[in-house]
Amino acid sequence: MDYALQQLVNGLTLGMIYGLIAIGYTMVYGIIGMINFAHGDIFMVGAFVSLIGFLLLGLAGISFVPLALVLVLVFAMGFTALWGYTVERIAYRPLRGSFRLAPLISAIGMSIFLQNFVQVTQGARVKPMEPLVTGGLVLRSTGSIEVTISWMQILIIVTTLVMLTVFTLLIARTSLGRAMRACEQDRRMAALLGIDTDRTISLTFVIGAALAAVAGLMYLLYYGVIDFYIGFIAGIKAFTAAVLGGIGSLPGAVLGALLIGLIETFWSAYLSVQYKDVAAFSILAITLIFLPSGLLGRNEVEKV
């Protein structure tokens, strides 16, 4: 019982990290119907920018942890958002009128470019960071093992839920959100009605990249070790989560991510660890057979 509870905490945290990345995938898909394969690598860039931020703060002598966290968060979000904007401007916008596969290939190219760029400029070795947020709460200590949740895990879960709420509200309530939804439904009509679609799409990428930076920072703090390759595996898992939850839907992305995190963790906990990815992807396949648009996705009717 306690063991299962502890694994639940582990799985929730893992799922929330996937969720933060998955929101970025699903937002971009929602607005231009394109899988931004470079998103995982933008997340990796976010983690590196965060690490550089901490090093700069260390040089500046700022050691008050909450202040350092906020400063690095702002720095990383700003800088990574700039990366997201640049990628969109260089690799996707020129291909907007082109056939459907063009931006997809361009995205894969961008992903490889970012990986190699970071590998060359930052080195191939892993980059470690000292634990910054330590300690946690003991939930139960009566059973066979102590059930604990660390402050870092709480921070990750809370951050993801806050981000989910903020961005769901942003899309539902603000004029930018209205413009985004309009672009999603019919980009040409939206443009005719005076919406600057290029700007709206750019902003979506900027927001997605800023979210990836948050995920990168959380990842860096939680695991303490990053390298140029982390974006690949995390990106694949987050993308899967977005598809499982119904691509285009923000709550769906987080729900899908939670499911993947929990399946992986519980499979590792009770069955063979080697088959955990097989398990997660089998469930994805089965879900898509019965619910082709994912758990919370809307059924798209292609109008002729």
Partner 1 sequence: MLRRTLIAAASAAALAISTGAAQAQLRIATAGPMTGQYAAFGAQMKAGAEMAVADINAAGGVLGQQLVLEIGDDACDPRQAVSVANQLVGRGVRFVAGHFCSGSSIPASKVYAEEGVLQISPASTNPRYTDEGSWNTFRVCGRDDQQGSIAGQFIAKNFAGKRVAILHDNSAYGKGLADETKKAMNAAGLQEVLYLAYVAGERDYSAIVSRLQQANVDVVYFGGYHTEAGLITRQMRERGLRAVAIGGDALVTNEFWQITGPAGEGTLMTFSSDPRKRAAAAEVVARFRARNIDPEGYVLYTYAAIQIWADAVKKAGTTDPRRVAQVLKSQGPWKSVLGEISFDAKGDVTVPDYVFYVWRNGSYSEL
Applying CB under 8 A, the residues found at the interface with partner 1 are 3, 6-7, 10-11, 13-14, 17, 119, 123-126, 128, 130-131, 134, 144-146, 148, 150, 219, 223-225, 227, 229-230, 233, 264-266, 268-269, 272-274, 276-277
Distance CA 138, CA 247 (A): 37
Q: Based on CB atoms, which residue is closest to partner 1, 63 or 185?
A: 63
Q: Based on CB atoms, which residue is closest to partner 1, 195 or 263?
A: 263
Q: Based on CB atoms, which residue is closest to partner 1, 148 or 293?
A: 148
Rounded to the nearest whole angstrom, what is the least distance from the CB of residue 124 to partner 1 in the complex? 4
Distance CA 27, CA 304 (A): 25
DSSP one-letter code for 275: G
Rounded to the nearest whole angstrom, what is the least distance from the CB of residue 268 to partner 1 in the complex? 4
Neighbours of 220 (CB within 10 A): 26
**71's torsion region: left (phi>0), alpha (psi -120 to 50) or beta?**
alpha
Distance CA 283, CA 67 (A): 42
Q: Based on CB atoms, which residue is closest to partner 1, 233 or 288?
A: 233
Rounded to the nearest whole angstrom, what is the least distance from the CB of residue 238 to partner 1 in the complex? 13
Neighbours of 138 (CB within 10 A): 9
CA distances from 107 to 29, 37, 93, 101 (A): 13, 5, 11, 10
Rounded to the nearest whole angstrom, what is the least distance from the CB of residue 108 to partner 1 in the complex? 20
Q: Based on CB atoms, which residue is closest to partner 1, 100 or 125?
A: 125
Which amino acid appears at position 158 of this protein? V
Rounded to the nearest whole angstrom, what is the least distance from the CB of residue 145 to partner 1 in the complex? 5
Rounded to the nearest whole angstrom, what is the least distance from the CB of residue 250 to partner 1 in the complex? 23
Which token pair is 290?
């019965």
Q: Based on CB atoms, which residue is closest to partner 1, 85 or 113?
A: 113
Angle at 251 between CA 226 and CA 69, to 5 degrees: 40
